[in-house]
Every structure is written in C-alpha cells, then in structure tokens.
Structure 1
Amino acid sequence: MKLTNAQITKYRSVEDSQRFDIEPDVTALVGKNESGKTTILQALYRLNPVEESAQLDEVIDFPARLTRERRRLPEGERIPVVTATFRLDEDEVAEIEDDLGKGVLRSPEFTVTIGYRAAGRTIAFDKDEALVVEHLRSPLDLSATQADILNGADTVKDLLEALDSLEDAPAAARELANRIRGWRDHSLDCYLIDEYAWPRMPKFVYFADYDIMPGKVSIPDLIRRRDGNTLKRGEQALLSLLKMANVSLDDFLHTDRHERLIRELENTGNVISDEVFDYWSQNQELAVELEVLPPEEGAQPPLNEAPILQVRVKNLRHRASVPFDDRSRGFVWFFSFLAFFDELEEAEDNNLVLLLDEPGLSLHGRAQEDLLRLIDERLAPDHQILYTTHSPFMVSSDQFHRVRTVIDQDKVGTKVSGEIFKADEDTAFPLLTAMGIEMTQTLFIGEDTLLLEGPSDLIYLDVLTDLLESQGSTGLDPRWVKTPIGGAGKLSTFVTLLGANKLNVAVLIDSSTKDVGAIHRLRDNGQLSKNGLVQVSEFTGSADADIEDLFDQSFYLELVNASYSQQLPQPITTPDLNVRDPRIVRQIEAFFKKNGIANGKFNHYKPAAYLLREQATLLSKIDPATASRAEQLFSRLNALLS
C-alpha cells in the first residue's frame, strides 16, 4: 500500500495546498525558510501517527487569518484538513477480490480524510456493492422461491434482511448471515476499512533535525516523563537504543547491574555505529561510549538526581571523547535517527511513511550526499520518504521528478506543486544550484540548445544528418548544441532552467512521453518558444511514436538483432512482434520481457551504438522514406534557430 497524493486545507499556514502527487519511494519538498514545509509534514503525520498523542486542535491549528470564517461555520460541521489517497498493491487487490469477488474495486485507490470537529478518519472506497452481493449469494444452494427473494438485494444490508427472511434457510445461508452480522454496522464499507484498509495502512513517522539523543539524562526524571508521556523525540531515540539492548530504565536503579547494562548498551551502540558507517563517509574513527555517573556537584535539576546516564562520542584518531550532543551534529543525527528508526521498524508490522524535516541541515555537502544514499539505499526500498530541504545538495540532480516546490503566497497561504516553473527565485535556488553543479560536470549548453531524452537520440540525429548530407540534402544545423539529459522526467526542469538564462531552447520528445503536458504548460507560460516543442509523431504519421519509429521497421530490427546477437537464440522477425502497437521499441520491450532476453530488459542504446559503429556499411540500407522523414524533422528544427 502506497500514499499516492494528498491535499491539505485549513491547517496553520496552509489554506489549500492543492492536491500534490507523492512518489512511491522518495519525495523532496523544496522551499525557502518559513514557506510551510514543516507544516505540510506535520499535517500528513496526523493521518496515522506512530505516536497517538498527535491530534488536531481547531483553535491552535486552524489558520489564524481565517478565525472569523471558522466561527461562522455551523456547529458540528466537519472541517477537512488532510485528504490523502492510498493505492493498494496487486496482492492486496487480489486478496480482496478472492474474498468479495473479482472487480469489486472499481479502483485500487481509496481516500482517507481527517479533520476538525469529528473523531477518527473517513475512509472511502470506489466499489461495486451489487457485484459483492452477487459474489456472496452465488454459492448458496437455494430453492427457486428463496433465490427470488435474494435476487432483489443490491446492497449488503438488503442481502442480510433477505437472508433473515428466508424460511428453512440452508446452513450456508445462515452462515453467510452470521458473517455479515459480524461486520461493523453490517456495512461493506466498514468491512473493507476494518479488514483491509486500516490494519494495513502505513504508520507515519515524523523526525526533525533537532530530534537528537541527549548526551546526559537523569534516569529517575526520564522514568517520570516516560510514564507521563512527555518524552522528546531525541529521548525516545535513547529509549529505542535501550530497548534494542534489552535494557529498561528501571534496571539502572539497581547499582549492582550497571556494568552489565553498559556493556549491553555499548554492544548495541556498536551495531548502530556500524550501520551509520555504511553511509557516513566523513570520519570512520568514531565510537559511542556510555557511562553511569553520580550527579555533579551543584548540578541543576533534573541532573541533580542519580543515577545519571551519559552518552559520549570518542574520536579514536585524537583519543578524546566529548558528550554526545556536543559532537558534530551530522554524526549525532545519523546515530539518533537510526537508533530511533531501527527499533521502530522492528516493532511495526506495516511499512512506514517517514517524514524527515530538514534532515542533514548541519551536514557538509558531501555528508548530505551520504544522507541521500542512506535514504535511497536503506530507507526507500521498504518505506516511503518525504523530506524537506532548502539545500542544493539534498536535491538529487538525476531525480528531479521527486521535487515538489513549497511556496507561501500572500493571502492564499502555502502551496505545493510538482511544476517547478511555478517556483519563485528563492524557492528555485537549490534546484538551480543542483542543476548548475550537474551541468558543469556533465553538460554542454549553447545559445541554441536542443534537449534530447537520451544519448541514443543524439546518435540517430548525427547518423541521419550524415546520410542526408551525403545525398546533397540538409541535415541538422551544427549550431544546435544537442544535450541528452538522461530521461524524459528531466525535460520540463531543463526547459525551465535553460529558458531562465534566456537561451533558445527546443525539445525533441517522444510522443508517448508523460512530460509532454508539463512542457506544453511551459510553452504557454512563455518559457519555451511557440514552436519549440517538437514531437516525433509529427513525422511518422502515428499519434504514438519514439525516435526509433523514424526508421523502417525491418531496418531497426536488423540493428536490434545485430546488437543482441549473443543473447538472441534466433533473429527477431516481424511476426514475433505485436504489430498492433505503433511503437517498435515497445514491441521489442514486450518480446524481451516475454522471452526473458537480456533478463527481460531492452537497452535502447545498444542498437544506436551498433549503428554508430557500423554506419559506413549501414547508411546505404536506410530507405528513402526514412530519409524523407528525417529531412522534414531537420527542416522543422533548423527553422527554430535564433
């Protein structure tokens, strides 16, 4: 089950965030200070918090600017705050269909709403209740009269009433009636919620940059606040460390156990340190040590009450140690978070949604890259991550599709958007910086820049240019600086960033690319010239086309067969493919997957690389129709030169 989108309304600085999509693995909320990033996370946290104390408070949490509007609302009217959509995975859908009938869910998604003035959550499925009724009654062995009675039921409640009205009902009918009576309110909605939605919904975990373990605590004080449910998150991380070591706070009240307890804690601390060092590249010569001490003379409460537990970090290189919370906050954050997270992950049956508020705020740029690696490699494979940042080093240059901008606008409050071109200068700064770093390392740009999805596009344009020029025709003008940007997901971002530098930017895009809509909006907003979006389908005669569809199908198959000659048991022929699909690449991808060729994955670059290597012999095999399509494409692009 995954969180797919959310909308937040009437919560602190957020009047209406507008609905925003959430990635299945990692989503980055990027915005300047005081834009409302923390508010977004805290609202989401209340959907299903791992700590049940997190509640909405209408007086405190309702936007102050709208207090008069709130007071005018009818008494008892529910005010929604968070509406979120979750998507069931294929196994969960299959389980529901086995139970209630195939097709019972019109959509694998369901919505969850929380708000003021009403306890609990509202959960709604898009379902076919009549189909469920048919599925439940179909196995019953009934007489014609009994069947007629049940056939009039369209809802589960009607079915229960019909079952109860049967005379001489068979045992199976009585069992079905008892089953429905076991559902809360005899309701299908309640059954879906109680059986499938609520028990499996991920828990939401909020962790902030300041939630680090304390370096020194009074055990009696910690016990009192644990029992009073007033622990801070960093102290909870310390309790998690104790729990992982199978040590309780009360154990420290027995002075004869201190040595054993410290050894257990240090062993557990070493385990977490080893995990930290898998991702912490800044300094590997650190160790966590623990001591049980009496109070210092003149210590202020609560540190005047024994025993005192002190956590220290020792630098093995310098042979010195400092209190845990006096150490570089980067290592302290890593250690505190993993202590808190590891114990929580072990305790929870469901996946988690981790809400990380400004993680790595005090980290060096390289250490922030370590943190991104921790997120991608350790956390994201099993849990969804949403994190906030205003640091360019926390924006992965090859993962711009993860970014959602957060902007606080006058009179409308905090807005969240997946369209980067809506961002103001300050909000876009970390994105611009991250892209600038990437460009200086990997890209060449010029006054006239042609953005391509990948390197194979560049090869095809170069080869086709050579073909046309050898025939005395015009190829792609050399003034174009061709820039492959590594995937369609980056296209709209690059258009925005390059357009902001007043460059002439054109985009050559596959007609099937999901980013087409975003680039259309860029053009409508004046950040791309009117004719700057060039789709391959303009030259292939089909509505759905990749750049490979410029070539004759038999010629492209020759490239594929030659480049995969070692993996293919025999050459692919046209009858092997699904010719109803207009895209040759998708046909071949399906063939590779079905037949397990190259582990079921077709690499678009390999045929292009083969064509580049063998173009001396292959150019003559390119048919006139392909040359004509290429000439039309180049004429269109050359007309866009500044």
Structure 2
Amino acid sequence: MRLVEARVQNYRSIIDTGWFSVEENKLILVGPNEAGKTAILQALQQLSSPEGVKELDELRDYPRSRYNDISTNKVQSSNITVVEGKFKIEETDNVDLPEGFGDCLYVLEKRMDNKLYHRLENSPPKVVYADISKDLKRLADHVDKPVDNELVEETTSFENKLSEITEDWVGTTIINETRAMLLDEWLELAFKRIDESNVTEEERFDRLKATVNSYKIEKQLLKVLGELVPTFVYFNNYARVKPLIHLEHLAQRIESNILDDFYYDYGNICLLKLLGFEARYLSDLGKAAANNLDGESWKKYRDQLDKRQYQLNAASVKLTTEINRVWMPDENRAEASRLRIIADGQYLKVVVEDEMGVEIELDQRSEGYQWLVSFFIIFFAEAEGKYKNAILLLDEPGLNLHALKQAEFRKTISRLGEANQTIYTTHSPFMVGANELDIVRVVEMVSREEGTKVHTTVTASDSNAILPLQEALGYDLAQQRNLVFEGLTDYWYIEAISEMLRNDNVVSLNDKIALIPAGTASKVIFYATILKSHNLKVAALFDSDPEGEQAAKQDNLIVLLKNTNIFQVKDFYQGSAKKVEVEDLLRDTLVVVAKEELGWDVMDIASSQPARPIADVFSSQIQDFSKYKLAKGFLRWARNNNAGALTGVEQEQWKAFIEKVNKALR
C-alpha cells in the first residue's frame, strides 16, 4: 500500500497540521528550524513503527500548553487522535477487492493511548436502519400470521421481539456488528416460520440476511489490509560505521545483549548484516588460522576464507558504486575513491583507497564522506529486511555534505523512492530541485497557539519557511539562458511537456535554459530586467489574457528584450478560444486528465464551448477549482505517459513553442 494523505494532531508543537497529500515516490517537507518538521516525521512513524520504537507518552508528547486538559481529565487519551494516514491499495498488494470497494482508501489512526483504529474511505455506504426497516416489519408481519390455526402469543411475536431490538434506533442508525448480530439471530428464528411456498418472503429473507451481514465483507477486508501497512522507518542521527571493529568484543556484546554504545554497535552490526556474516563466525574464523589443521580441515578453512573474501569484495563494489554516484558523479574522474572492507584476524577494517592505491582509514576522511558511507551501509543492510515494505522518513539527510554533493544525493533519494516511498525534511536549497516544487510541502509555525501547519500549496505567511524554495530557484537561475513566465503551474507544464517530447525524440528544449516562474505577469518584467543587467540571455512568455497582453506590450520590456524574445500563448495556440493561457495548449489532454486523476468531468461543456478558455470552463463547473490541483494531476499523469498520449495539435503547439524558445536563446 502507498500513503496518499496524512494528518498529525495533538503532538508536541503540532495542534493540527491539516490533511496534506503525499507524493507517490518522494515528498519534501521544507521549513525553518523549530517549525515542527521533525515532529511530523516522528508522529508519522507511530502509525506503524519498527520494533523498539518508543510508544506515545501523554506526558512527553501531548502539547505542553494543553497538558492541563489531561491532568484535569477534561480530555481522555483514548479520545485524542495523534496521527492519521490514508493508504491506496495497489496491484502489487494482490488484494482481491470485493465489488464496490475498488476505489476505497485504507485509513489508519493512532490515538494518544497507543490504540490503533482503522476504517475504509470511499467504500460502499454503511447499512442504516432505514435501508431495511420496511422489509424487517413485513417479514415480522408474515411470520406472526397463524400457522395451522395456531396463534402466536403477543409476548413471543416476532414483531415485539423486533421492537425490543430496535427500540432506540432511528432511520440513520448504522447497522454495526453488534446490531447486525442481534438482527441475524432474529432472522434465523424467523426463517423457521416462513412459508416455503411464499417466494416473495423467501427472497425478502435472503435479501435481509445478505444486507445485515454485509459488515463482514468490510471487516475481512480491513483485517487483510491491516497486515499490509508499510513500516515507517525514521532516520534522524544516522549511526556511524567505525573504521575498525574488534570481532570478538562485538560478538561477546551481542551474545550478552550488552551493547555499550547503540550508535557504534548498530552501524557495525548493519555492516555485518550487509556482508552476510555474524560477528561470532568471523571471530572464530580469525582464530582458526592459529590452529594446526589437517588436510580436510584446511580445505574447509580455505573455502570459508574464500567465501568471506568474495562477499567482502562484492559488498565493497556495491558500496563504492553508490557512493561515487554522489561523491564523484563523473565516473571518469581520476580521483574517484574505492571503499574496501578487509578482514584481518580479529579485526574488520573499513578503508578508502585513493587513485594512487593508498589506503586510509574511514575516520580520516571528511565528516560528509563518513556520513555517506554509513548511510548506504545501514540502508542496504536493512533494505531486504524490515525496510522492504517500508516508508522512509529522513530527517535533514545529507546535512554534512557539501552543497553540490547534496544536489547529487538528492538524486539518490529519488532512486530510493522508486522502491520505498520517501519523505524527508530539509532547509537546504540544494536538497530541493527546481523541478521538484510540485512535491514540496511547506511547514511553518506562525505562533505556538496555532502550532505547526503543513501547506498543500507552495506558500507560507512566514518568508523564512519558503526561503529554501526561493534559493533553489535562485540557484537554478545561474544560467546564461533564461525563460521567464508568469506562474508556478506554467513551470510544471513546460517542464513536464519538454521531458515528454524529449523522451520521444519529438523536440528537445535546450537543457541550458533555466525556467523561471515570476509569480505574475507584472513581475516578469522585473525578473527580465535583473537578468539582463547581468548580461544573461532572456526570453519572456505571457498568457494572452488582459494582464499578460498589457505586460507584453510595455515599451521598456520591448526595448529590453526585443519582440523576438517576447512570446504570448496565442502565438502557438491553434484553437478558437480567446484570452488563452498555458493550460489551453493542453486543452484536450487536461480535460481527460482532470477526469482520470481528479474526478472532474467537464468533457461535455468543454466540447460544446470551444471558444472558451479551458480554465474558465473548469472554474464554472468545479467547486473550489484550483489550477494548482489540475497541474499536479497532470504531473502525475505525465509520469506514466509519453508524448503520444497528447493530441496531434497539442504536440504541434508545444513543438512550435520549444523551437521558438531555443532559437531566441541559442
């Protein structure tokens, strides 16, 4: 299952984050220190934590400013929801969903008393008393009729028994398991008095029986899904792998269950797990060399040594490959290092071999390099175990890495996210790609009274909260060629379409062109002026609405960029609509995407009103329409489709746009 939405309440600095969506592979939580990012990750882990993680403690975890509510029994721990998660059932879960449950979400909730509750969302509606009351009364009337002239006494009549069961029920009373069992017992007794020749009452009984017991379908499904919940694994202060491990000492500590230093031993135990050996085995193997061995014993000993060497070498190669992807991404650079794991008697050593073949211990390398080595050893060691069906929660990963290596490590996290859904926090602009703003959630705490909030759009009232995003874009601006346009959603469309067309060899946007959302049409001029003042090449794109038209025709912009570098959406649009925006270059596809991804059906209106901008069609038909939601829906769709999924006209429009931009900024 995959987490699609989450909400944290009543936890430390958090009063209520509100529901926030979680991306399919990777989600980035951005915000300043003390905003509550760590608290969000720690609370999420409580949904399904690995063995050994501390449970919730009302004294430590309930918001301190409200603790008096608990101490005075104003609220009870059993009624305090701390964290909720909504999970989507995927094909790989191999769950045979009953009819009507195809679109359901599994919702898991944990309360302050550490009790877990689950339910289904988007499942068939619950059976209520109004759904079955008439049939129940008619069946009661039928079975109370005399049989063979034998009158039913009033005290034992089925109508009276039914009245006793449903005495305090109203039409909206849900037929839960307890009520269903009472009705089922009543039905079983009533069945014996049904005239078997009466087809109508036989069918009524069957219908009531199935409806009353329908709760069992959901109950069984909840049980199955409860066993599929991923484990939430939280990394905060990554344990370090030490460069020299004394095997006998470690084996004794493990066997005695006395681990002197958790972080020291945990990292080293993970290293052994990655290698596929136990400390005791390697220690005994190191001692065997001192013994006098006969021929057969010597051969067995040599085989064990060879096996050890092969496994050490395989692990060394795997780690070296992954580390150099981040540390030295250019594989042809001579200074790329090689990590080596060496067994020497009672010692297991981790050394780094440089380009000259010189070996130095791991702890003599930089803090960033040590952190990276330890991260990969621990992750690879656990990946096939408790992390196999896991959601990774990374708190400020790569903090010790240089800025440019953080950018490379970001790609590593993307690879991790393909196998394990990953959520990480950061306040570093280098851990947020300029093309990843759609998978960012901004975390801020305006005041202690309001607590931590998670914004579902890239916005915040505190400018410090979105500083990493601004800096991430600013870092991306350091290009010789820049295309400036109005909105963030325009950025997502341009980026996604460019990638689709490039992958299908239709046309390729020059990868040296930086895409820069200015925010509004008026700010495009401001951005263009600054960039031109630094002698950078600049082109501007405006919507063809009144604001965009006015901005595109300003004399100072024309003097600055010349007409050849000022574009409007209408320059590429081939339809009949007026006042078009970037969305209109994807008009037909967005209508399909909106229905598939968001459940917004405007197909009939859009086809009957071709002269109307598509954003206007959506806003008139969809309550609380959001361009942001539409663009995000398109991004999800684009990741699973190629350029051939676009209409021919759309491909032509975007091809013309990209070719014009490439020419203007060549």
TM bracket, shorter-chain basis: 0.5 to 0.7
Match of 1:206 in 2: 234
TM superposition shift of 1:248? 0.9
TM superposition shift of 1:315? 2.5
Mapping 1:608-627, distance limit 5 Å: 608-610=654-656
Match of 1:421 in 2: 459
How far apart, in 1, do the equivalents of 2:262 and 2:60 lie? Answer: 20
How far apart, in 2, do the equivalents of 1:422 and 1:238 lie? Answer: 42
Match of 2:111 in 1: 115
TM superposition shift of 1:406? 2.3
- Greater Rg, structure 1 or structure 2? 2
Deviates more, 1:229-238 or 1:310-319: 229-238
How far apart, in 2, do the equivalents of 1:544 and 1:193 lie? Answer: 50
Match of 2:197 in 1: none
Mapping 1:23-34, distance limit 5 Å: 23-34=23-34
- Residues 583-620 of structure 1, C-alpha deviations (whole Å, 9 max, x = no match): 9999xx9xxx9xx9964345845335459989xxxxxx
SS of corresponding position for 1:431: helix
Quick one: which of 270, 277, 288 aligns to 1:247? 277
| CA shift in 2, pair 1:437/1:37, >3 Å | same
Match of 2:119 in 1: 124
How far apart, in 2, do the equivalents of 1:494 and 1:385 lie? Answer: 35
Letter in structure 2 aligned against 1:113: E
Match of 1:433 in 2: 471
How far apart, in 2, do the equivalents of 1:263 and 1:161 lie? Answer: 67
1:195 aligns with 2:224: yes
1:3 aligns with 2:41: no
SS of corresponding position for 1:213: coil
Letter in structure 2 aligned against 1:264: Q
TM superposition shift of 1:228? 4.1
Mapping 1:518-533, distance limit 5 Å: none
Mapping 1:29-178, distance limit 5 Å: 29-74=29-74, 76-80=76-80, 82-89=82-89, 91=91, 95-97=95-97, 99=98, 101-102=99-100, 104=101, 108-117=104-113, 119-126=114-121, 127-128=123-124, 157-158=180-181, 161=185, 165=189
Match of 2:314 in 1: 267
* Contact 1:291–1:311 (Cα < 8 Å) also in 2: no
Quick one: which of 417, 427, 432 aligns to 1:380? 417
* Contact 2:108–2:119 (Cα < 8 Å) also in 1: yes
* Contact 2:77–2:111 (Cα < 8 Å) also in 1: no
* Contact 1:432–1:497 (Cα < 8 Å) also in 2: no
TM superposition shift of 1:37? 1.9
TM superposition shift of 1:387? 0.9
* Contact 1:238–1:339 (Cα < 8 Å) also in 2: no
TM-score, normalised with respect to structure 2: 0.60
Quick one: which of 590, 600, 619 aligns to 2:645? 600
- Give the total of aligned pairs: 496
Match of 1:363 in 2: 401
TM superposition shift of 1:114? 1.2
SS of corresponding position for 2:408: helix
Letter in structure 1 aligned against 2:439: R
Letter in structure 1 aligned against 2:350: V
1:319 aligns with 2:358: yes
How far apart, in 2, do the equivalents of 1:56 and 1:452 lie? Answer: 39
How far apart, in 2, do the equivalents of 1:227 and 1:163 lie? Answer: 61
Mapping 1:270-281, distance limit 5 Å: 270-281=317-328
TM superposition shift of 1:313? 2.6
* Contact 2:35–2:444 (Cα < 8 Å) also in 1: yes
Quick one: which of 370, 374, 378 aligns to 1:340? 378
| CA shift in 2, pair 1:94/1:286, >3 Å | closer
* Contact 1:454–1:486 (Cα < 8 Å) also in 2: no
- Residues 369-405 of structure 1, C-alpha deviations (whole Å, 9 max, x = no match): 21111122x2122221111111111111111122222
| CA shift in 2, pair 1:164/1:211, >3 Å | farther
* Contact 1:281–1:370 (Cα < 8 Å) also in 2: no
- Once the two structures are aligned, what percentage of the paired residues are identical? 22
TM superposition shift of 1:319? 0.8
Letter in structure 2 aligned against 1:274: T
How far apart, in 2, do the equivalents of 1:56 and 1:498 lie? Answer: 53
| CA shift in 2, pair 1:495/1:320, >3 Å | farther
| CA shift in 2, pair 1:250/1:20, >3 Å | same
SS of corresponding position for 1:128: coil
How far apart, in 2, do the equivalents of 1:358 and 1:11 lie? Answer: 20
Letter in structure 2 aligned against 1:21: S
| CA shift in 2, pair 1:318/1:337, >3 Å | same
| CA shift in 2, pair 1:73/1:284, >3 Å | farther
Letter in structure 2 aligned against 1:285: S
Gaps of 5+ in 1: 135-144, 294-306, 459-483, 511-533, 558-576, 615-642
SS of corresponding position for 2:33: coil
| CA shift in 2, pair 1:608/1:52, >3 Å | same
How far apart, in 2, do the equivalents of 1:499 and 1:342 lie? Answer: 48
- Residues 55-84 of structure 1, C-alpha deviations (whole Å, 9 max, x = no match): 212222223333323312357542535333
How far apart, in 1, do the equivalents of 2:518 and 2:255 lie? Answer: 51
TM superposition shift of 1:44? 1.1
| CA shift in 2, pair 1:351/1:442, >3 Å | farther
* Contact 1:452–1:485 (Cα < 8 Å) also in 2: no
SS of corresponding position for 2:466: helix
Match of 1:284 in 2: 336
How far apart, in 2, do the equivalents of 1:352 and 1:82 lie? Answer: 20
How far apart, in 1, do the equivalents of 2:118 and 2:187 lie? Answer: 28
How far apart, in 2, do the equivalents of 1:348 and 1:356 lie? Answer: 16
| CA shift in 2, pair 1:452/1:209, >3 Å | closer
How far apart, in 1, do the equivalents of 2:29 and 2:86 lie? Answer: 19
* Contact 1:204–1:352 (Cα < 8 Å) also in 2: yes
* Contact 2:490–2:582 (Cα < 8 Å) also in 1: no
| CA shift in 2, pair 1:225/1:60, >3 Å | farther
How far apart, in 2, do the equivalents of 1:34 and 1:23 lie? Answer: 24
| CA shift in 2, pair 1:10/1:498, >3 Å | farther
| CA shift in 2, pair 1:455/1:331, >3 Å | closer
| CA shift in 2, pair 1:248/1:393, >3 Å | same
Gaps of 5+ in 2: 132-141, 144-157, 159-165, 167-173, 195-204, 289-300, 330-334, 495-512, 531-539, 546-567, 590-604, 616-633, 661-666
How far apart, in 2, do the equivalents of 1:45 and 1:498 lie? Answer: 46
Match of 2:562 in 1: none
Mapping 1:537-616, distance limit 5 Å: 579=607, 599-602=644-647, 604=650, 606-610=652-656
